[in-house]
Amino acid sequence: MDLKLLPTSTQVKSSSNNNLLESPNLTFSSTICTDTLPAVRGKIVKQAELAPFTWFRVGGPADVLFLPEDEADLATFLKGIDPAVPVTPIGVGSNLLVRDGGLEGVVVRLGRNFAQVEARANNEIYAGAAALDAQVAKVAAQNGIAGLEFYRGVPGTIGGAIVMNAGCYGAETKDVLVEAYALNRAGERVTLSLAEMGYAYRHSDPQDLIYVGALYRGTADTVEAVTERMDAITARRETTQPIREKTGGSTFKNPEGHSAWKLVDEAGWRGKRFGGAKFSELHANFMINADNATAADLEGLGDTVRAEVKQKFGIDLHWEIKRIGRR
């Protein structure tokens, strides 16, 4: 992300000094109030609009947005910040619905110094948490490493993929992840084995971590064969998903033995409007900001559909999209 493109309301300049001293007006709109934030080399933006950082393009501002310069900078910040202040990492917001009231505390978004992708011996790939999944798939293909083709179909970052156990077309993060690297709230680096991730369908166990990278292992294949499979995924998505819309991908997890899109469709919600929101005509489990929707429109639509599906079919739909922030 080019920092010049930051959607600032008030930008606090980066400084090696305590940059809060340069912005005496910093107050959180939340009940949690911090007079000082740690001195950092990265950027701090107060009342930072988050909508441009999410695929849905909705939602209110973060009290504070922090863009760390690098891992050491992030560690310094986490060591120094009041543990009572909520800290929320975000990737590219492809699975996020930020509510209209914005987000309490600090949002952390990792930049290019966390986006390294590197093929290693034994069919391994290291990827920084800010690297795009698609880029990781491409590097794997270029190096004849099979198993990560599915990442071409997930439009998020590695950080989001680690948390969500992202996957498609029969493959998931858990199939290729060796270990994940993170900083905890105390700013300490921790390594999590695959077993420690507690992976299930679109779920991981660990909480309160900011992932900084992951190590993957695939299997050897020819560059041509891996590239062909990856390209097939690209082509398939183009025709089956509304990937150019303001969407959050699959809205609900597939309930055991059912397809969420079928339930939404059979409940009569494919293409039907709710404020500025609707479920896609192309893929009935993809919710879309069709016409200046608010986060309340989108969440209201989702909850209405959940209630109707429960009433009509007795089946519970669970949100896959993470809804965060104040209503």
Ligand X SMILES: Cc1cc2nc3c(=O)[nH]c(=O)nc-3n(C[C@H](O)[C@H](O)[C@H](O)COP(=O)(O)OP(=O)(O)OC[C@H]3O[C@@H](n4cnc5c(N)ncnc54)[C@H](O)[C@@H]3O)c2cc1C
Binding segment (CB under 6 A) for ligand X, from list 22-30, 84-92, 192-200, 253-261: 84-92
Secondary structure of residue 107 in the 3-state scheme:
strand
Nearest 5°: phi and psi at 228? Answer: -60, -45
Exactly one of 243, 282, 296, 315 binds ligand X (CB under 6 A); which one? 243
Site string for ligand X, 41-60 (x = CB under 6 A): --------------x-----
Binding segment (CB under 6 A) for ligand X, from list 63-71, 163-171, 184-192, 257-265: 163-171
Asked if 248 and 323 count as a contact pair (C-beta separation under 8 A), the reply is: no
Per the listing, tokens 């007795």 go with 314
Q: How far is the CB of 269 from ligand X (least distance, A)?
A: 18
Of 106-125, binders to ligand X (CB under 6 A) are 110
Asked if 271 and 278 count as a contact pair (C-beta separation under 8 A), the reply is: yes
| Separation between Cα atoms, residue 67 and residue 84, nearest integer Å | 20
Angle made by CA atoms 213, 53, 117, in degrees to the nearest 5: 25
In the bound state with ligand X, the residue whose beta carbon lies nearer, of 20 and 209, is 209
Exactly one of 203, 322, 323, 326 binds ligand X (CB under 6 A); which one? 322
- How many beta carbons lie within 10 A of that of residue 170, not counting itself? 7
In the bound state with ligand X, the residue whose beta carbon lies nearer, of 147 and 159, is 159
Nearest 5°: phi and psi at 262? Answer: -70, -40
- Tell me: does residue 90 bind ligand X (CB under 6 A): yes
In the bound state with ligand X, the residue whose beta carbon lies nearer, of 40 and 168, is 168
In the bound state with ligand X, the residue whose beta carbon lies nearer, of 6 and 243, is 243
In the sheet with 286-289, reading across from the earlier edge strand, the strands are 247-250, 286-289, 277-279, 273-274
Exactly one of 47, 76, 204, 247 binds ligand X (CB under 6 A); which one? 247
Angle made by CA atoms 195, 322, 40, in degrees to the nearest 5: 80
In the bound state with ligand X, the residue whose beta carbon lies nearer, of 58 and 154, is 154
Binding segment (CB under 6 A) for ligand X, from list 32-40, 62-70, 205-213, 298-306: 205-213
Helices and strands per DSSP (H, E), number in the chain:
6, 20
In the bound state with ligand X, the residue whose beta carbon lies nearer, of 181 and 274, is 181
Asked if 111 and 1 count as a contact pair (C-beta separation under 8 A), the reply is: yes
| Burial profile 99-137: b = 16 or more Cβ within 10 angstroms, e = fewer | bbbbbbbbbbbbbebbbebebeeebbbbbbbbbbbbbbb
Q: Retrieve residue 114's tokens.
A: 């966390």
- Tell me: does residue 103 bind ligand X (CB under 6 A): no
Q: Total number of residues binding ligand X (CB under 6 A)?
A: 34
- Tell me: does residue 154 bind ligand X (CB under 6 A): yes
Q: How far is the CB of 90 from ligand X (least distance, A)?
A: 4
- Tell me: does residue 204 bind ligand X (CB under 6 A): no
- Tell me: does residue 128 bind ligand X (CB under 6 A): no
- Tell me: does residue 163 bind ligand X (CB under 6 A): yes
**What residues line the site for ligand X (CB under 6 A)?**
55, 88-96, 110, 129, 153-157, 159-161, 163-164, 166-168, 209-211, 241, 243, 247-249, 322
